[in-house]
Amino acid sequence: MAAGDEGRQDDGHEEAHPRSVAVFGRAPCPTAVPPGYSGPALEAVMSPTLWIVLLSCTGSPSDDTGGAVGDSGDGGAGEALCDDGLRKREFQQAVQDDSLLAVAANTTIPTLAGDYILQDHWDGCDVMLFINDEPPQARSSDWGTALWERDVADLFARAPANTIFFFGSDHADAADREASLSMLQAEVVDAFRDMSDEERAWWEPRIHYVDGRFRDVYGWVGDVIRSPGWGAVLDRTQHIRYIGSYADVDRYSSSAGWFEPNLSMAANEAIYANYLAALAQHREDDGATVVTLWDRELISDTNWSGTRGRTTVQLPDADTMAGFDTLELDLTMHCNGAGEYGTCPPWDYLVYLYLCDEGQTEGCSTEFGRWITTYHRQAEWIHDVSDLLPLIAGGGTRTFEFYTTQEYEISLSLRLSNQGRDTRPVQTHFLFSGGAFDADYNDAYEPIEVEIPATARKVELATVISGHGQVSPGNCAEFCPTEHHFYVNGTDNVRVLDNAGTETGCMDMVDQGVVPNQYGTWWYGRSGWCPGWLVPMVVMDITDQVTPGATATFDYEGFRDGQPYESSGASIVLSSFLTIRQ
């Protein structure tokens, strides 16, 4: 297996993983591991997905060879590392600024245990959550239950071990603040009763109670609590982020027409912060040649007229392009304003990057990337689309288009690099697209023949699939599992989009880059996609199904429950490619 190809699967079935997000060659451990912190207690702290990824990393939960969070690990090159293998971040000096994504300045937080000076406690590995008792997204007056009244044990069970908590009351009256903190402290004591001694010893020094009114804390901490008031995240690169919605998929209120809050949803923010830390280090370490397509440029098509953003860039020359084996898309969707809820667009819509044919002036049709927007939050992703590298192998001047209905400030770049894979893509052939998913869906497809070069060392099938529409039966194709059969010389390679319709299928993928705590029904699994995520390119190795120097025949069918879908109104958005590697 080539370096950087760990996300591939060689059997041609759905278990093939998308080369995307946290899988940058070797998957980084997504959470810090406390020393001596093992057994069921640690499993409770991490989601199943995080646990699996952790076990694939160097060391194990009971391995004390690595440094504890806050200790200097041995990076092999004099670097200080966190327990998840990511670099420790030095504290940056900054001016007081409470804006979203600002670098946090040093400040002193008065706690019941004494002053907490941020710079003195900074270790470059932790994520800090600042949780207030009456945030506007979870006021007790709206729900009849205080945010801190329940779910405290679940919060500690779900939070990554490198989380630090600051709980503060923002009541104006001192007696009300004392009552609120006392209620929370009682819940914490109850949570500790069910922990092992090791767990309790780990979490106790990581829980801080703000002394005084939360908004009166000096600097950015108090300012963020005052407005917008959502609560804050200080991520591992020292940037200020907001806590999103606390809505719990299991707590629908028919009287409110929405979902009641759950304090433990804040843990998703810490999980996501660890994903962002891995993303930041990848940008620093991959040695990529970066070609910027757009840099915080406003793009939208609010009138649904088909208007696209368009840019022409200069790629490296063909000889330089021949030295790259990896192509990644790095997209950040900034909201046009200072906040998230009320500023960021509200809906989970498709957005696309298109590559124009050389000399093409409009209507570019080659899909180069696909994403789904969030409900009211900013987002960023990197994902691997190396199988499309041959489409730009000639280098030089190329034109791209970007489509989004809702208005965003788009920052999008190509990351070209050599990751030392044992092959590189040299030819890409488009195969099949999607369409209306109905009784006639499969009638549109005819076999396609492609000559496989005699020099081919590896042959791959790359697919990008997402299902849309909410049609009965099955709520298809957004929420119904569908099966997609790609036949190569008669051999069936199947992708089953079985995450569709699951209750927490998208929430379970926060560690892979799904934006957490969106202000909408973001938790539910969809058909090949999630709100606030990339639509992944899934690559299957089909080398054993073709013969170099001979013609290969490809065909495709799509079904629900093994049969054509009989209703109308659903759709499958599909791009599929054959890639030759040498």
pLDDT of residue 338: 87
Task: Name the residue among 25, 48, 90 with its Cα closest to residue 285.
Answer: 25
Two domains, one topology: 108-277 and 286-581: no
Class of domain 108-277: alpha beta
Would you say 116 and 108 are in contact if contact means Cβ atoms under 8 Å apart? yes
Single pTM value for the model:
0.88
Query: Residue 359: which pLDDT band, with cuts at 50, 70 and 90?
Result: confident
From 65-69, 98-102, 130-134, 543-547, the region with the lowest mean pLDDT = 65-69
Q: Residue 538: CA atoms inside 13 Å, Cβ hemisphere, count?
A: 24
Q: Which spans in 233-364 are helix H? A: 267-285, 318-321
From 4-8, 14-18, 363-367, 516-520, the region with the lowest mean pLDDT = 4-8
pLDDT at 53 over 90: no
pLDDT of residue 77: 58
pLDDT tens readout for residues 153-205: 999 999 999 999 999 999 999 999 999 999 999 999 999 999 999 999 999 99
User: What residues contact residue 523 under an 8 Å CB cut-off, 6+ apart?
Assistant: 249, 503, 504, 505, 506, 507
pLDDT tens readout for residues 414-434: 999 999 999 999 999 999 999
200-221: average pLDDT: 98
pLDDT of residue 276: 98
More confident residue, 478 or 14: 478
Q: Dihedral sign, CA of 343, 344, 348, 353? A: positive
Cα–Cα distance between 375 and 348 in angstroms, integer? Answer: 6
The residue extents of the domains of the chain are 108-277, 286-581
Would you say 460 and 540 are in contact if contact means Cβ atoms under 8 Å apart? yes
Q: Domain 286-581, what fold?
A: Jelly Rolls (2.60.120)
